[in-house]
Structure 1
Amino acid sequence: MNYYVYAIRSYSRNYIYVGLTDNPERRLHQYNTGLNRTTKPYAPFSLIWSETFPYRQEARNREKYLKSGVGKEFLKSLLPR
């Protein structure tokens, strides 16, 4: 099984969310249909970054990095200006 670390961006607000999943398509659908209470006010979303890892712990470490200040700056640098 592969694990995916992803970053999604809200279309309506200046908001980037980073998460970990085993099925990124299903997860994005859940966010865009309002099934996630935390991100519901920020929907709809688009995927801006995704990485694949063979082990959950590796994915978790990358997720923690992307949620840090340096990681968020990296994700913001991917966005069009």
Structure 2
Amino acid sequence: MFTVYVLYSFSADRLYIGMTSDLITRFKFHNYKATKGFTTMFRPWFCIVVETYQSKHLARNREKFLKSGNGWYKSKRALSQGLF
């Protein structure tokens, strides 16, 4: 199983979109273990969306869509409307 997830930082009003095969471990890296990178600057992160897929290909396509201009816009809009 592969997971596409959306993290949100309340302190910075930022979204982060990613994909993994081990969500718990990846989430811990975003919030505690990583020492450099984008997510270290905006901790703590909260997982607001989780989608699971049977194949890496499908998960990657969904992640790419969410990171695209249209997907990013829809994600931010849903967040502002309280849909997450």
Call closer, same or farther: CA 1:7–1:36 in 2, change over 3 Å. farther
**Runs of at least 4 residues of structure 1 off by over 4 A?**
none
Normalising by structure 2, what TM-score? Answer: 0.84
1:11-54 residue CA offsets vs partner (Å, 9 max, x unmatched): 21021111000111221111111516221011110011111011
How many residues were matched structurally?
Answer: 80
Q: Which runs of 5+ in 1 are unaligned?
A: none
Q: Which runs of 5+ in 2 are unaligned?
A: none
The structure with the greater share of residues assigned to helix is 2
What is the aligned partner in structure 1 of residue 5 from structure 2? 6
What is the aligned partner in structure 1 of residue 67 from structure 2? 67
